[in-house]
Structure 1
Amino acid sequence: MQGHISGTYVRLLFEWLDEQGMEAEKVLQRPCPELDERVRIPFDDWRAMLERVYRLTNDPVFGLKVGKRITARHLGVLGYVTYSCNTLGEALLRLQRFEDLVHAVNDLHVSFEGELVLLQWGAELGATGQLADQTAQAVLVSYLRQVVGADFNPVYMSFINEKPADIRPYEEFFGCPVHFEAAYTTMAFPAIWLTKPLNKPDPVLRDILDRQAENLLQQLPANDEFITALRQSIHAAIHAATPNLDVVAMRMCCSPRTLQRRLDERGLKFQILLDDARLQLAKRYLSKVSTPLSEVALLLGYAEQSAFNHAFKRWTGVTPKVWREKNAALGATPW
């Protein structure tokens, strides 16, 4: 499948294996990558490494143990920039913006469910698998415990993957109910945590690292040129108030049938991609409190504000008005 992982992140597995008394380079049959997020490991290679370790250890939850030893250096610039933020909300903004520096596979989506914040990953580029998912979520929760306090626990976790025979190791690690065979891999936690101050804020360093992370992000190769072009065409169609498959196909210089075939080959649904693009744009427009909701609806290609309100509530669980008020109350840049 498409996607890549940073060398800094992959080093976690090498270091854990060495700690267990196993020769990591011999087990994984490759040299340990440099501690540099510019070193890119294809995601399929990462998944193959995890599967090799599973066959060796016969431990279905070793990824939880690997993820527990995460440090800022394993996340490169992203780790240091989040470590320097004032609040968890600021840190998660950086995670959403710069996630591809470390784990460029399926995109992170952030939304609200009542008083909860949901961090969610779908399978737009394909399912990443049980071992990769458990490692990634263990990394995230372990890192959050480092920066905001060891008492951080999600309210619930869910995974796209098939339910394992024993879920107790997951529940013990995450400290919450854990569900499987869900529509999204999700970490849910109380929104009040967004205002939680981090242990070592450094606004000056954060600004420097923000610029460095932005520069690195621009240097990364796209996962899939077709998907990049498709997203650009969808955004253009939205801005022109013509967001439908026929118009997007025309913008991509192909027939609707060809576009649909290429979507089918990747397991993608046009409506899901359109909804995702509209949601991200909606959040951007809603962050500007001076923009009336009726204008936001028009900017997203909706003829009626009521249709926008209905769609936004379906995506996030709240109306655009409530979402805007919640983000304003948090005192941070909205998602």
Structure 2
Amino acid sequence: MTSQSNIRIPDGLWAGFSKLGIKVQEVVRKAKMPLTVITKSEVTTEQYIALWQAFSDIIDDIEGGMLMLPTAIETSQYPPPVLAAYHARDYRDALNRMASYKKMCPPENIHIVEEGKQCIIEVSWDRTDIPVPPLLIGTLLVFLLELGRRGTGLPIKATSVEFTYAMNQVQVLEDYFGCPIKTVAERNRLILDKDDLDHPFVSYNDELLDILTPVLDQTLEKHTGRLSITEIVKWILKRSLTKEKLDLKDIASELDMSERTLQRRLTDEHTSFKELLREVRHEQAREYLANPSLDLKEVAFLLGYKDQSSFYRAFRFWEDNTPLNWRAEHKIKQS
């Protein structure tokens, strides 16, 4: 979920760059930003992504680079939201805190689902108009596992890791995660054995959590309060399109409000559930079609359509064009 407010860069990030032998000034200059950002430490989403792209360009090792910051930054340099996760009761509590508090620092979203014997952690983002560096996504996935290892003191391994990007050298990542790495996948995901979430954290600190949690929860409430109900509903829809059933009742339940209240608030913002669902499907359709690794049947499924013909009809209505022609034209424009 994103907001219009700036992103505060934790001091630990600058410290991490320095520990890796990378001059902070070099990263900032390469990102074409003023050096004052180092002391101000507050940037826009575009600038935040530019910093990560600059870091990626400087190290010129995407796969190895994903391991650098999570393993280099000391726990004492964690910002308050991460510190609260590190001192959580167990791995499950830590991950849930990370997913919740990450909403205060876009552009990435963390979505956690426990299914059967698996815990699926998906990283996504709302700003489809700005390409997110693979290094940023990989660093976050690495950190989520590193958090579990540091907190429990155990060599926890993932069962599977998926990236939407192509990679050249995955062995270093497979050695770290302890599992196969799937590239050019549909989503960026870290999949864990659900039993590992029950491991208690040796770093658990109840007294510290009593101090941090109320402050962080209050900050989170203020942050999400600045978002319109339209933005919130669209965010929920984007991560829920593949659900078998998706209607106003589902969204209202997740927001802990009645259907009538949700509908009224959407009406106040001059929109409706159906209109937002159309908008989200249209936006996601363009994003998915821009990914050549997804065939049209997969795109239709990811958008929540039961059959490919329904997706075709909807897309022709949106773009006055077929999905195949749109993809071909888009590819030509990019080349």
Shift of 1:25: 1.5
CA contact (8 A) 1:50 1:132 kept: yes
- In structure 2, the CA distance between the partners of 1:259 and 1:59, relative to structure 1 (3 Å rule), is same
CA contact (8 A) 2:162 2:188 kept: yes
Shift of 1:202: 2.1
CA deviation string 1:94-122 (max 9, x = no partner): 22222224x42343222123211111123
- In structure 2, the CA distance between the partners of 1:53 and 1:129, relative to structure 1 (3 Å rule), is closer
Indicate the residue corresponding to 2:165 in structure 1. Answer: 162
Question: Identity percentage over the alignment?
Answer: 15
Shift of 1:210: 1.0
- In the TM superposition, 1:216-231 aligns within 5 A as 216-220=219-223, 225=228, 226-228=230-232
Matches of 2:253 and 2:198, distance apart in 1 = 36
Q: Which amino acid aligns with 1:147?
A: G
CA deviation string 1:208-246 (max 9, x = no partner): 2110111222343778644136569954498655899x9
| Runs of 5+ consecutive residues of structure 1 not aligned to the other structure | 275-335
Q: Which amino acid aligns with 2:155?
A: D
Q: Which amino acid aligns with 1:91?
A: A
Shift of 1:167: 1.3
Indicate the residue corresponding to 1:208 in structure 2. Answer: 211
Residue 151 of structure 1 pairs with residue 155 of structure 2: yes
Indicate the residue corresponding to 2:143 in structure 1. Answer: 139
- In structure 2, the CA distance between the partners of 1:110 and 1:6, relative to structure 1 (3 Å rule), is same
Indicate the residue corresponding to 2:44 in structure 1. Answer: 42
Matches of 1:230 and 1:50, distance apart in 2 = 26
Matches of 2:169 and 2:180, distance apart in 1 = 13
- In structure 2, the CA distance between the partners of 1:27 and 1:112, relative to structure 1 (3 Å rule), is closer
In the superposition, the TM-score normalised over structure 1's length comes to 0.64
Matches of 1:209 and 1:243, distance apart in 2 = 32
Indicate the residue corresponding to 1:292 in structure 2. Answer: none
- In structure 2, the CA distance between the partners of 1:273 and 1:80, relative to structure 1 (3 Å rule), is farther
Indicate the residue corresponding to 2:28 in structure 1. Answer: 28
Shift of 1:45: 1.5
- In the TM superposition, 1:34-113 aligns within 5 A as 40-61=42-63, 62-101=65-104, 103-113=105-115
CA contact (8 A) 1:157 1:188 kept: yes
- In structure 2, the CA distance between the partners of 1:19 and 1:31, relative to structure 1 (3 Å rule), is farther
CA contact (8 A) 1:124 1:267 kept: no
CA deviation string 1:37-60 (max 9, x = no partner): xx5433321221122233333222
Matches of 2:260 and 2:141, distance apart in 1 = 38
Indicate the residue corresponding to 1:310 in structure 2. Answer: none
Secondary structure, in 3 states, of the residue corresponding to 1:109? strand
Q: Size of the alignment, in residue pairs?
A: 265
Indicate the residue corresponding to 2:296 in structure 1. Answer: none
Q: Which amino acid aligns with 2:51?
A: M
Q: Which amino acid aligns with 2:15?
A: E
- In the TM superposition, 1:180-219 aligns within 5 A as 180-219=183-222
Indicate the residue corresponding to 2:326 in structure 1. Answer: none
Shift of 1:123: 4.1
Indicate the residue corresponding to 2:176 in structure 1. Answer: 173
Q: Which amino acid aligns with 2:270?
A: C
Indicate the residue corresponding to 2:269 in structure 1. Answer: 252
Secondary structure, in 3 states, of the residue corresponding to 1:122? strand
Secondary structure, in 3 states, of the residue corresponding to 2:161? strand
Q: Which amino acid aligns with 1:96?
A: A
In the superposition, the TM-score normalised over structure 2's length comes to 0.64
Shift of 1:26: 3.4
Matches of 1:240 and 1:108, distance apart in 2 = 26
Matches of 2:172 and 2:37, distance apart in 1 = 28
| Runs of 5+ consecutive residues of structure 2 not aligned to the other structure | 30-34, 237-246, 287-300, 305-335
Shift of 1:197: 1.3
